[in-house]
């Protein structure tokens, strides 16, 4: 009799764990599909979509580098436009930031031919991109590949009317 009770209790526990796992997966998929975005200017010539959040902040430094950090969605964007009054030191600093982020990272190619770098130790993804015409340089970093790719695919270059 005790063996039957033990089997029954084990089955109930397994079913409960499976139900919780299914619920968590379903909740993740729903929240990813329901994520709302807003458009943010990176410079006078580039914009990007970022998740709507109350946990993000923007700043810039003396080199003309702009920083965006979203702690809720683990999304960081660093940008530099060499025509917006920045110095050569700004370009060098931006390159140093890119190199530090992508140090020890390995390139992976997505299904739609986008090269993403992943650090195998931190599991952080990054993309460095830019536009020669507008002089924008953009580094996107995230622990979530979907968030990183959404931001990357949303970049638009051109004259922005504020």
Would you state the pLDDT for residue 7? 65
Is residue 91 in a domain?
yes
Are residues 93 and 105 both part of a single domain? yes
* Domain ranges, residue 24: 1-34
Query: Could you tell me if 151 and 144 are in contact, meaning their C-beta atoms sit under 8 angstroms apart?
Result: no
- The Cα–Cα gap between 92 and 98 comes to 10
Are residues 73 and 151 both part of a single domain? yes
The edge-to-edge listing of strands for the beta sheet with 46-51 is 37-43, 46-51, 156-157
Per-residue pLDDT of 10-24, as tens digits, reads 556 656 565 454 455
Question: Among the listed ranges 3-17, 49-63, 79-93, 126-140, which one has the minimum average pLDDT value?
Answer: 3-17
Is the pTM higher than 0.85? The answer reads no
Query: Could you tell me if 75 and 142 are in contact, meaning their C-beta atoms sit under 8 angstroms apart?
Result: yes
Is residue 162 in a domain?
no
Is residue 84 in a domain?
yes
Q: List the beta strands (DSSP E) in the chain.
A: 37-43, 46-51, 56-60, 65-70, 75-81, 106-109, 115-118, 125-131, 136-142, 156-157
Are residues 43 and 94 both part of a single domain? yes
CATH number, domain with residue 56 = 3.40.1000
Mean pLDDT of the chain: 85
Number of compact structural domains in the chain:
2
Per-residue pLDDT of 33-71, as tens digits, reads 578 999 999 999 999 999 999 999 999 999 999 999 999
Are residues 42 and 25 both part of a single domain? no
Would you state the pLDDT for residue 111? 86
């Amino acid at each position: 009799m005790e063996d039957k009770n033990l089997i029954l209790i084990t089955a109930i526990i397994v079913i409960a764990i499976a139900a919780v796992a299914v619920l968590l997966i379903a909740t993740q998929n729903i929240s990813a599909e329901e994520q709302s975005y807003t458009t943010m200017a990176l410079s006078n010539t580039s914009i990007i979509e970022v998740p709507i959040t109350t946990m993000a902040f923007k700043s810039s430094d003396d080199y003309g580098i702009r920083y965006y950090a979203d702690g809720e969605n683990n999304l960081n964007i660093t940008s530099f436009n060499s025509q917006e009054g920045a110095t050569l030191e700004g370009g060098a600093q931006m390159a140093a930031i890119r190199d530090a982020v992508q140090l020890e990272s390995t390139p992976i190619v997505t299904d739609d031919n986008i090269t993403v770098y992943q650090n195998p130790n931190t599991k952080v993804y990054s993309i460095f991109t830019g536009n020669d015409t507008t002089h924008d340089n953009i580094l996107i970093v995230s622990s979530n590949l979907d968030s990183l790719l959404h931001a990357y695919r949303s970049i638009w270059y051109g004259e922005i009317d504020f």
